[in-house]
Copies of this chain bind each other. A is one copy, B any other.
């Protein structure tokens, strides 16, 4: 299959597929006589893996670790579990941070009296008086 078909099948943009190849995340494809990339089912599987992991928020770095690990079937699954668990912890942290931030922003907005900018509570809250 050509790059457009692979892209469509995995919900990736064509440029992104070429980008993954460039950084070595996706192996080079064979080429047709017209120099078009020609992909097989192994590429499809690998790119699906990549997209799915990206959807779950794994970084490309974590991903390439996972891909390396997944190649050695005999190895203990511990390292894989570790990467995933650390990722989960990061997500929890992010949710916490965003929730805190949300309530604060909500508070700021609630104070809005819909007057002029001169009396704007939002700007006032954001701009604390200089300590001078």
A residues contacting B by CB (< 8 A) are 9, 41-42, 44-46, 48-49, 52-53, 55-57, 66, 69-70, 72-78, 80-81, 84-85, 87-88, 91-92, 94-95, 98-99, 101-102, 104-106, 108-109, 112-120, 122-123, 126-132
Contacts and interface: CB of A to CB of B under 8 A. Distances in A.
B126 A76 contact: no
- Counting every copy of the chain, the complex holds 2
B77 A115 contact: yes
Contact of A91 (B85, B102, B115, B126): B102
Given A88-B105, A95-B102, A102-B91, A52 B118 contact: no
Given A95-B99, A105-B84, A70 B123 contact: yes
